[in-house]
Amino acid sequence: MEIVQRILEVLFFLNCFALMALILLQMSEHSGLGGAFGGGTSNTVFGRDELKDPKRTLTVVLATIFMLLGIVLSIV
């Protein structure tokens, strides 16, 4: 049981690191006042299309894994 817990902790750490890196990468792309209103990447009339952004999808997946691993680690 302790081996499973260690593996889950390592996965949790790697997931945290990947999530932080991805969020910081997104912040640097859209920083500044122009980025706040969708400037720079105008795929649509009202700014960028966030539903087609693969980084947004990956962020949602990593955040979901983060929450699930956190719950499982609190139980184990």
CA distance 31 to 66: 25
Domains held by the chain: number: 1
Euclidean distance between CA atoms 69 and 13, whole angstroms: 10
The pLDDT, as a whole number, for residue 8 is 94
Higher pLDDT, 64 or 29: 64
Name beta bridge partners: 44.
47
Res 2 pLDDT > 80: yes
User: Model confidence at 5, in pLDDT bands (50, 70, 90)?
Assistant: very high
Q: What is the pTM of this model?
A: 0.69
- Identify the CA nearest to 21 among candidates 59, 73, 69: 59
Range of the domain at 65: 2-75
Per-residue CA distances from 42 to 14, 24, 39, 53 (Å)? 33, 21, 6, 12
